[in-house]
Amino acid sequence: MNKVRVTSPDCGNGKGSAVSRRRALQAGGLGLLGMTLPRLSHGEPQDRPKPKPVAAITTSWYSTSHADVLIGKILEGYDHLGGPGPQLTVPALFLDQVLSNDIGVAKAKQYNVTLAKTIEECITLGTGSVAVEGVLIIGELGSYPRNTKGQIVYPRPRMFEDVVATFEKYDKVVPVFNDKHLAYNWHNAKWIYDTAVSMRIPFMAGSSLPVFYRDPPLWLPMGCEVEEAMVIGYSDLDHYGFHTMEALQCQLERRKGGETGVKSVQTLTGDEVWEAEKQGRWSRDLYDAIMATFPAESRGRAEDKLGSGEFVFIEYSDGTKATIANLNKNSEWGIAARLKGQAKPLACRYYGLYHEGFPVFANQLRAIEKMILTGKPSYPVERTLLSGGIIDSAVTSRFEFHRRRETPHLSNIHYAPGDYPFPAGQPRRGG
């Protein structure tokens, strides 16, 4: 196991587990969650273990929602066609919202899944004990308000709090997966992380982008020296910007020394972006290298594609600089990096989101399954903690009239890189 360290100015030095936010924020972090991804097979194992039950906790479930492409694969197979799937079962489902386009209630009835009235019931199955061997928190999508900064206030902290309250009540913890960022803001995200650490919960979180297909199949060399990097993404900075950030971070964490944190974040838009280029804050050749990996119809100049989007400038603690180009007139993801001693940037496109059966989510589910079967996280949750903190700071910078934000709370996040054996070529049925 790779030991990792996470420190923050607001870390307490208390001991023991905690349920309430006040108690949890007083709990000390053990910082032992980041681990190297095990080798995950894409074939079916010869000795298939008995399926393990997981509690599915989600905001809403409609066609192609995150609940559908993750929970649906457990019930219906990786292709949603009744074929092979993970060695998991879903005995109970908690739905926070039942929308007009809901299919979760019907799916539960079809597959004999209990619709739990509370998260505790979803985990205990009415037995008076923790009756599942894993928990999925899919607190993404649904009808939730935005705060004044434009962040969607998804109930992941509330859901996590109910999960850990159940663990404490019945004196047992099981692995937990949290879909996407831990919370929309740093305060809640750090509370979730610290609580998981203090309770020694095997914990994973994050985007599916790190397990997307790549063209060309690029992994930055382990231990490389990165001078500058860029990632191109699209859509809302809070909503899809997190995906974009994890697409970048899963590459940059492979650089020499691993991850050591982020010193500052600033968001700029409009003419400020072009002025930043003149100042050398971002490099056109990295942008062009990414565009060259996109389909011809998706390429274009930054001036034509930025629209109402923004550039986010990130200064890492070790001096590495990176840029998020969040383009309003774009629908692709890609990254580029300039390595020390190499004139030509390395670049690739991330793709696979809209292929039949959503195979990239099968990749993500395999990593979740591995954790539940082994009790060990398949990749470091610290990546998600850092990525979510960066996006929260970027949204705050935008809200504060593009002020540069020093980020001491992110500057000492240290962890070892993850390692993904997933194929990066053309998608195939079953992932």
Q: Which residues on neighbouring strands pair with residue 347, listed in sequence order?
A: 336
Helix (H, G, I), strand (E, B) or coil at 405: strand
DSSP 414: E
Residue 358 pLDDT: 84
**Tokens matching residue 129:** 């004990």
DSSP 18: -
DSSP 361: H
Q: Are 398 and 267 in contact (CB under 8 A)?
A: yes
Question: Stretch 399-409: mean pLDDT, rounded?
Answer: 98
pLDDT in tens, 162-195: 999 999 999 999 999 999 999 999 999 999 999 9
Q: Are 132 and 123 in contact (CB under 8 A)?
A: yes
CA–CA gap between residue 389 and residue 180 (Å, rounded): 12
List the single range of 15-24, 40-49, 205-214, 235-244 with lowest mean pLDDT: 15-24
For residue 36, name the pLDDT band (cuts at 50, 70, 90). Answer: very low
pLDDT in tens, 254-271: 999 999 999 999 999 999
**pLDDT above 60 for 39:** no
CA–CA gap between residue 250 and residue 230 (Å, rounded): 13
For residue 31, name the pLDDT band (cuts at 50, 70, 90). Answer: very low
Q: Which amino acid is at 53?
A: P
CA–CA gap between residue 141 and residue 283 (Å, rounded): 35
> Which is nearest to 216 in space by CA: 336, 359, 305?
336
| Residues recorded for the chain | 431
Higher pLDDT, 210 or 13: 210
Number of Cβ atoms within 10 Å of the Cβ of 9: 8
Domain borders along the chain are 5-209+357-379, 213-351
Residue 326 pLDDT: 98
Contacts of 131 (CB under 8 A, 6+ apart): 53, 91, 123, 124, 125
For residue 229, name the pLDDT band (cuts at 50, 70, 90). Answer: very high
| Domain 5-209+357-379 indexed as CATH 3.40.50.720 | yes
pLDDT in tens, 262-312: 999 999 999 999 999 999 999 999 999 999 999 999 999 999 999 999 999
Q: Which amino acid is at 375?
A: G
> Which is nearest to 8 in space by CA: 392, 407, 395?
407
Q: Are 152 and 146 in contact (CB under 8 A)?
A: yes
Residue 10 pLDDT: 32
> Which is nearest to 185 in space by CA: 136, 261, 238, 240?
238
DSSP 304-358: HH-TT-EEEEEEETTS-EEEEEEESS---EEEEEEETT-SSPEEEEEE-TTSTT-
Topology of the domain covering 213-351 = Dihydrodipicolinate Reductase; domain 2 (3.30.360)
Higher pLDDT, 21 or 396: 396
Q: Are 225 and 282 in contact (CB under 8 A)?
A: no
